[in-house]
């Protein structure tokens, strides 16, 4: 996540920098630094920001779970944590999902796959 995205999502949430710092469990100075580009946005902050956005943008009845969108075969689907926890619209948030047949090693690697995905883009 870059500083423009961070600012945009904070505004989309309708939060001040102070309110955002409280939601993210960080200092207001950290939020200010993210928006100025003085600090890189840590993984846990990026994940929390996407989660918060997903909760305001998601119209649950209109979204299909990832396994339907991706047409996952049964043997993959039943091994995937998104299926196990019935969180097919939060697959991007859950570590260990089996997107395109592989489990991703870390958040950065996972987001390369998730950012262009229809499941993820639907929340933005």
Give percent above pLDDT 90 in the chain: 65
* 40 & 75 share domain: no
Which structure tokens are listed for 115? 């950012």
Task: Indicate the pTM of the whole model.
Answer: 0.83
Last residue of a domain, one of 39, 57, 75: 57
Q: How far does the chain reach from its first CA to its final CA, in angstroms?
A: 13
Q: Give how far Cα 102 sits from Cα of 18, 65, 74, 96, Å.
A: 39, 18, 15, 9
Q: Which pLDDT score is estimated for 59? A: 59
Question: What is the DSSP code (8-state) at residue 106?
Answer: S
* Whether the predicted pLDDT of 53 surpasses 60: yes
* 84 & 39 share domain: no
Please report, for the domain that includes residue 18, its CATH number: 1.10.260.40
* 14 & 48 share domain: yes
Q: How many domains does the chain have?
A: 2
When the pLDDT of each residue in the chain is averaged and rounded to a whole number, the result is 90
Last residue of a domain, one of 18, 36, 57: 57
Q: Which pLDDT score is estimated for 61? A: 64
The enclosing H or E element of 98 equals: strand 98-99
* 78 & 116 share domain: yes
Q: Which domain holds residue 95?
A: 66-121
* 52 & 73 share domain: no
């Amino acid at each position: 996540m870059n500083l423009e995205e961070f600012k945009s999502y904070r505004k989309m949430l309708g939060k001040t920098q102070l309110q955002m710092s409280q939601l993210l469990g960080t200092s207001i100075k950290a939020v200010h630094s993210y928006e100025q580009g003085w600090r890189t946005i840590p993984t846990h902050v990026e994940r929390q920001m996407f989660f918060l956005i997903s909760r305001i943008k998601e119209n649950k009845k209109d979204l299909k779970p990832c396994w339907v969108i991706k047409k996952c075969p049964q043997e993959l689907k039943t091994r995937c944590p998104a299926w196990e926890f019935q969180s097919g619209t939060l697959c991007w948030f859950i570590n260990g999902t089996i997107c395109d047949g592989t489990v991703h090693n870390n958040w950065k690697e996972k987001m390369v796959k998730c950012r262009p995905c229809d499941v993820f883009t639907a929340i933005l």
